[in-house]
Amino acid sequence: MTPVIPTTAEPLPVPALRPLPSKLFVETTTFCNLSCPMCVKHAEGSTIEEGHLTQATFDALKPAFSHLEALFLNGIGEPLIHPQLASFIAQARAEMATEAWIGFHNPTACCSPRTMPEKFSTPVRTVSAYPSIL
């Protein structure tokens, strides 16, 4: 079914009733520099393979970007390990509305708003899973 995309200035329905997603959570990588004992990657019998989100898969998501209120780049692993994270953020920013925000999960807490690497050319939000180790 082809989604109906509003073309007028009518107020959008509540997010759950919109034809396209308003928030997108994208798993960027399964690589991680931690070995948390409760991690599903390290659970007995885990078959999770290590790998990065590819540019081709990211490209396939781009048609949704202009409709988003938020893009969240997360993973089972640490998104900062992905060598293209900054590029993904820049590419998404170019497609997204000015008021929409981009964030990424930062489980190893290796950066914060105070120590954000300068490689990010656009403001991003970070969420640390383990703020107690900051």
Q: Of 5, 12, 36, 116, which one interacts with ligand SF4 (CB under 6 A)?
A: 36
42 token code pair: 């390290």
**DSSP type of residue 27:** E
Q: Of 61, 76, 90, 109, which one interacts with ligand SF4 (CB under 6 A)?
A: 76
Residue 47 found at the interface with ligand SF4 (CB under 6 A): no
- How many Cβ atoms sit within 10 Å of the Cβ of residue 23? 12
Q: Which residue has the tokens 């050319």?
A: 121
Phi, psi of 25 (to 5 degrees): -105, 120
Rounded Cα–Cα distance for residues 107 and 26 (Å): 15
Which CB atom, from 39 or from 64, has the smaller least distance to ligand SF4? 39
Which CB atom, from 96 or from 108, has the smaller least distance to ligand SF4? 108
**How far apart are CB 32 and ligand SF4 at their closest, in Å?**
3
Q: Of 67, 77, 89, 106, which one interacts with ligand SF4 (CB under 6 A)?
A: 77
Residue 18 found at the interface with ligand SF4 (CB under 6 A): no
Rounded Cα–Cα distance for residues 113 and 106 (Å): 11
**How far apart are CB 109 and ligand SF4 at their closest, in Å?**
9
